[in-house]
Chain A
Amino acid sequence: MVFVNENLIQSAVLIACSLVSISKAIKYKSRTWSLLSFFYGCWLIDDVYWMLYALFFDGKTPTLSVLSDLNWYASYVFLYFLIRQVAPPYTRRETRVIPWLAFVFTFSMAAFYMQWGEVLSNLIYANLIGLLLFSVIRRLMDLDDYRDILLLCAVSLFFVAFEYGLWTASCFWREDSLFNPYYWFDALLTLSFPFFIAATAKAVRS
C-alpha cells in the first residue's frame, strides 16, 4: 500500500513538473525545456506503468526488468542531453582522472547490485549514470567556465545520490512500511524533481 501511495505522490509531482516544463517548451519553443519535459515524461510514464501493473496483476511487478526500466534509462539520457544543451561546449583537451572515477563508482555499485538484480539492467544503468556523472563532474571541475549550470549539476548529483541510496536500501530492507529507508530516499527523489525546473530556468536565463 505504501508503494502505491508513494508512487501516486511521485506521479502527481511529476505531472505538475511536466506541465510546467511542457508549457515553457511551447511558450519559448525551446529545445532545453523539451528535453526536461522528456526527462519528466519518461520518469512519470514508468512510474505509472509499474503502478498499473501492480494494480492489474495483484501486486506483482513486471517480469523482465531489463525492459520494465526502459524509461528510467531514457530519463538519464535526457538528463545528460539537458546538461549538454545548457552548458557551453567542453573545450579542454587534457585528460583528467577524477571524472573517470564516475564510471568506477557506477560499475562497482552495479557489481554489488548484481547479487540481487539482473546483469544487463545493472550494466545499462552503470553506463548511463556513469556518463551523466562524468559529464557533471568534468564541468564542476572547471567551475569558472560553467558557473551558470552549477545548480543544475548540483541537483543532478543529489538526484543520482538519492537514486543510489534508494537502490542500496532496497537490497537490505524489503518490507512495505514507512520505516523502510527505501521510501525515505524515494521521498527525497520526489522532492528533488521540482528543483530541476528552477535549475534549468537559472541555466537558461544565464
Chain B
Amino acid sequence: MSYIENIYVCLAAPILLAIMLLRREARGSLAFTLMGMTSCLLSAYVSSFAAGAAGLGLAEASLEIAPVVEEVMKSLPILFYLLVFAPRKGDAIRGTIMVSVGFATFENVCFLTSYGTEDLLRLLIRGFGTGAMHVTCGMVVAIGLFFLWDRAWLRVVGGFALLCFVIRFHSIYNLLVNGSGPVFWIGSAIPLTFILVYMIAFRSSVRIS
C-alpha cells in the first residue's frame, strides 16, 4: 500500500520553497506544477470514493470514474486562475500545461512506488505516454477555450464539451495501457503522436508566447 499523501509532502516541500524564493514566470510555473500535483492527490481520493459508491471494480473504475474525476480536478485550478486573475491567453495556456505536467509527474511517482522500478523500457514508455496524455488533454481544453469561443457563456458550454472530449480520450488511453503487448504500445503512442502532430502542424498557427 502506498501512502500517497506522504509522497506528496516529499515532492511538494522543495517546490513550495522554490515558489517562495522565485519571482514572476518561474514562480507561476512552479505554482501551477504544485497545483497539478495537488489535483492528482485529491482526484485519487475522490476517484476511490466514487468507485466505492458506484460499486465498480478497479478495472471499470479506471475507465469510467478516474478519467472524469482527474480531468475535472485538473481543470479546477485553471478555472480559478481564469475567473479570478483574467490572464492573457499565453499565460493561461502555459498554466494549463504546467498543471498537466505536475499532475502527470505525481501520478508517475505514485505508479513507481506501487509497481516498482525494474522495467526501464516500460517505465520510459509510461512516463512519456502519461505525460503526453495529460499535456494533450490540458492543451486541448486551453487552446479550445481561447481560440474557439470569444464570449463567456460560450466558453462555459464549450468548456464542458471540450472536457467531455478529453475525458473520453483519457478513458481510451487508460483502456489501452492496461493491456499488454501491442495494445500497450499503441495506447502509449497515441498521445505522443498528438503532441508531435501539434508541434509539426499547429505550432506556427497557434503560438504560445
Q: Chain A's interface: helix, strand, loop or mixed, by majority?
A: helix
Q: How far is the CB of A52 from chain B (nearest CB, A)?
A: 5
Count A-B pairs with CB separation below 8 Å. Answer: 76
Q: List 24 A-B contacts (CB under 8 A).
A: A29-B205, A31-B147, A35-B148, A38-B144, A38-B161, A45-B169, A49-B168, A49-B171, A49-B175, A56-B175, A56-B179, A63-B60, A64-B54, A64-B64, A67-B68, A67-B167, A68-B64, A73-B161, A73-B164, A74-B164, A74-B165, A77-B160, A78-B161, A81-B158
- A62 to B67 CA separation, bound complex (whole angstroms): 14
Interface size on A (CB < 8 Å)? 27
- A48 to B65 CA separation, bound complex (whole angstroms): 18
- A189 to B147 CA separation, bound complex (whole angstroms): 30
Interface size on B (CB < 8 Å)? 30
Among the interface residues B54, B68, B148, B160, which one has the most CB atoms of the partner chain A within 10 A?
Answer: B148
Asked whether A53 and B164 contact (CB < 8 A) given A26-B205, A64-B54, the answer is no
Known: A29-B205, A45-B169. 9 other contacts (CB 8 A): A31-B148, A35-B148, A38-B161, A42-B161, A46-B168, A63-B54, A74-B165, A78-B161, A81-B154
Asked whether A48 and B172 contact (CB < 8 A) given A26-B201, A29-B205, the answer is yes
Point out residues on B near A: beta carbons under 8 Å. 54, 56, 60, 63-65, 68, 144, 147-149, 154, 157-158, 160-162, 164-165, 167-169, 171-172, 175-176, 179, 201-202, 205
